[in-house]
Amino acid sequence: MSKVGNNPIKVPATVIVDFKGQQVIIKGKEGQVELVLPKELSTKRDGDILTIQRKSDKKMVKALHGLFRSLIANGIIGVEKLWEKRLEVVGTGFNVKLEGEDLILKVGFSHMVIFKKVQGIKYAVEGNNKIVVMGTNKQLVGQVAYQIKSIKKPDVYKGKGIRYDGEILKLKPGKKAKMTTTG
């Protein structure tokens, strides 16, 4: 039995949840999220409480039950307060700036890297080395943050590159440090 799927979802007064067949449309002050429920699932609304129900007890349906309950709950949170991921650009001469709606990254290549705006995502730059990726869709925010991080992953020896804010890297000792300890 799905423990996550059975949890009810409390819908705040500022959020509107509409159902059109199997489509779920969640609207709030920050935007809109749309999901399509599988035919094995249905929804029941009782005032400000929303529950997801499954039509059978097959293993796959149980898995979808918990998944879609989490997706709907995350959508409700996202349209009320945007999801965000923070990234940090670390390195001498490395910086980032916002030009229009695109990010311009200077991360040690011979050219500046332009990361185009993704629909449904907003960027913010704090100082010249912090990036904030925001959006209503939690999965999309994480995916875009990872794509930005993939431009220049942190170096394992010096730690230079793009990393999540607060991420702790275990730096490897260099060749010189290994030679002095064995010597």
pTM of the model: 0.85
Domain extent listing, the chain: 9-80, 83-164
Q: Can you give the pLDDT at residue 183?
A: 52
| 15/79 Cα distance (integer angstroms) | 7
Q: Is the pLDDT at 182 greater than 90, yes or no? A: no
Rounded to the nearest 10°, the torsion over CA 46, 48, 52, 53 is -10
pLDDT score recorded for residue 4: 85
The string of pLDDT tens digits covering residues 139-174 is: 999 999 999 999 999 998 998 999 999 988 898 988
DSSP track, 93-125:
T-EEEEETTEEEEESSSSS-EEE---TTEEEEE
Q: What's the pLDDT tens digit per position in 86-110?
A: 999 999 999 999 999 999 999 999 9
The pLDDT tens digits of the residues spanning 6-18 come to: 899 999 999 999 9
* CATH topology identical between 9-80 and 83-164: yes
Measured in Å, how far apart are the chain's first and last C-alpha atoms? Answer: 60
Domain 9-80 has CATH 3.20.20.140: no
The answer to whether 3 touches 54, Cβ cutoff 8 Å, is no
User: Helix 59-80 vs helix 138-151: angle between axes, to the nearest 10 degrees?
Assistant: 80
CATH superfamily for domain 83-164: Ribosomal protein L6 (3.90.930.12)
**Residue 180 pLDDT > 70, yes or no?**
no
- Average pLDDT over the chain, rounded to an integer: 91
What tens digit of pLDDT does each residue of 31-80 get? 999 999 999 999 998 989 999 999 998 999 999 999 999 999 999 999 99
Query: Token pair of 130, please?
Result: 């912090």
CA dist., res. 17 & res. 19, Å (int): 7
